Amino acid sequence: MDIEFNKREDQNRLKLSEINRLLSEIKKGGGEKRLQKIREEGKMTARERIEYLLDKGSDSIEIGAFAGFEMYEEHGGCPSGGVVIVMGYISGKQCIIVANDASVKAGAWFPITGKKNLRAQEIAMENRLPIIYLVDSAGVYLPMQDEIFPDKENFGRIFRNNAKMSSMGIIQISAVMGSCVAGGAYLPIMSDEAMIVDKTGSIFLAGSYLVKAAIGETIDNEALGGATTHCSISGVTDYKAKDDKDALNRIKNIMKSIGHNEKAGFNRIESTPPKENIDNIFGIMPVSRSEQYDTYEIIKCLVDNSEYEEYKPDYGKSIICATARIDGWSVGIVANQRKMIKSGKGEMQFGGVIYSDSADKATRFIANCNQRKIPLVFLQDVTGFMVGSKSEHGGIIKDGAKMVNAVSNSIVPKFTIITGNSYGAGNYAMCGKSYDPRLIVAWPWAELAVMGGTQAAKVLAQIQESTLKKQGKEISEAERNEILNTISKKYQKQIEATYSAARLWTDAIINPTDTRKWISMGIEAANHSPITEKFNLGVIQV
């Protein structure tokens, strides 16, 4: 190992350490005092409920932990979007768990809460996974009701998805462990199994105060919609649990009884660890996103036995296409090569840029993986497509469109790891969020933007300077630098991994050493959903 490797390793581990520090704060939800109050009420916290449900010692991954990060601060914040979502195993069955965090504004739904819940349902529907709802929510956050209530991808979509999943045969289990009010009250009855915890759980369309105001009836919440009411009188719920653990134990027992569905049939053999130390990723990845490195070294750290079979190794070298295995699963890897390379024609090509020949190669490789029913893994560190007259005359738009077409129409499950840059149309071609990856995650130093920070800041500063000049204002060099610095700071904040994860453009910011686990659990989930479509590229320019 050289000194430069050690420097990179130290800097990148510091970035991971900062992400872990932020995660520790996020996991406190509404704060220790609020969490302790929940325990004093005889309830478990959202994360305690999930931990109790999951099989001991089994793998799990958390979806959207950074949701809402540094958003809604004028409303007091919304850590983790006020809901905890985990993919894990209950009684040996892989499933999705959705738990409202009542320590955050009593579990009220912010706009990002709705988006995160819909993401959980999307994962369950794509992979036909059972989904468990641990309900403890005060309903829509009224100060922001206009952003969560009426639109297509808002609160009501949750119940539409409940109905759709039911028709698809996807198992849904609800445990009402706290408040379940207004429109949210439909969720448990739209699930296959519904239970309610005695004395702490309640379900009603309108609470006692609103009932009094609306129709003049005087009644307390327990009589209105408590466990006894809904298990003995209304029939809304199926079981009355004595406490949280009793309800969670019932869920475990239900999961034990579930049969196995038909599998997609993705190929898997016994897993072998990489020969290369996966921790080497920290020393291979440069600190600056503009620096170069050899992507082959990253692939060797991720794949079983550090072995892969490359497709067209001497053609389209700015994208690496290879078949390999990750945790025993057969995968097709599409990765941006991040070092300067010499093309087959002897021309030098910039690392991280997609050229016509590499787009052409990737298109064919994606088609081959679909033909062979091999899941695709995109290792994304891309600055975009090559520009300039030579590329334009060579048909870069046509070749780029072919690659985007192949990614769009791919029927095998896709998984995207943003290892570095994710800029412009390169994000699309390398299976960004718009192209339906089953899971999309970022390493701590990843950047997502239309273009790199330095270039974008200069463009924006020039526009602002031009506007001021049109207004007759002369700009000094000091003022010019101040404008550039202000814009650079704002833009740099927007391209950070935490900014993207806060808005659920990615599912998580992960430790690179967990990449194999995320891909493996993702393919295992996808294997629950047989492929019923046929791969068809549609109309393309050849």
Q: How far apart are CA 454 and CA 188, in angstroms?
A: 50
Has residue 164 been placed in a domain?
yes
Q: CA distances (Å), 297 to each of 1, 190, 207, 300, 421, in order?
A: 14, 49, 60, 5, 17
DSSP bridge pairs for 58: none
Q: Which domain holds residue 477?
A: 452-495
Q: Are residues 197 and 278 in the same domain?
A: no
pLDDT score at 207: 75
Are the C-beta atoms of residues 354 and 426 closer than 8 Å to each other? yes
Tokens of 123: 């994962």
Mean pLDDT by 10 residues, the chain (542 residues): 91 98 97 96 97 98 98 96 98 97 94 96 98 93 87 89 95 95 81 94 82 83 87 92 97 95 96 98 94 97 98 96 98 96 79 92 97 98 83 77 94 98 93 97 94 67 74 76 76 91 98 98 98 84 62
Q: Are residues 481 and 514 in the same domain?
A: no
Has residue 541 been placed in a domain?
no
Q: Which residues contact 413 (CB under 8 A, 6 or more apart)?
A: 126, 266, 375, 376, 438, 522, 523, 526
User: pTM of this prediction?
Assistant: 0.94
Give the tens place of pLDDT for each residue, 398-420. 888 999 999 999 999 999 999 99
Q: CA distances (Å), 3 to each of 7, 17, 284, 444, in order?
A: 6, 21, 12, 22
Has residue 480 been placed in a domain?
yes
Has residue 501 been placed in a domain?
no
In CATH, what number is assigned to the domain containing residue 71?
Answer: 3.90.226.10
Has residue 306 been placed in a domain?
yes
What is the chain's length?
542
Are the C-beta atoms of residues 447 and 493 closer than 8 Å to each other? no
Q: Are residues 344 and 281 in the same domain?
A: yes
Are the C-beta atoms of residues 83 and 101 closer than 8 Å to each other? yes
Has residue 542 been placed in a domain?
no
Give the tens place of pLDDT for each residue, 227-277. 999 999 998 899 999 999 999 999 999 999 999 889 999 999 999 999 999
pLDDT score at 472: 78
Total number of domains constituting the chain: 3
Q: Are residues 422 and 311 in the same domain?
A: yes
Number of Cβ atoms within 10 Å of the Cβ of 479: 13
Q: Are residues 1 and 126 in the same domain?
A: no
Has residue 348 been placed in a domain?
yes
pLDDT score at 457: 64
Examine the fold and report which residue of 209, 238, 257 is the final residue of a domain before the chain moves on: 257
Q: Are residues 246 and 388 in the same domain?
A: no
Q: Are residues 121 and 3 in the same domain?
A: no
Q: Are residues 236 and 313 in the same domain?
A: no
Q: How far apart are CA 517 and CA 537, in angstroms?
A: 31
Q: Are residues 217 and 70 in the same domain?
A: yes
pLDDT score at 91: 97
Has residue 500 been placed in a domain?
no
- Enumerate the H helices of 378-447 as residue ranges: 389-393, 396-409, 424-429
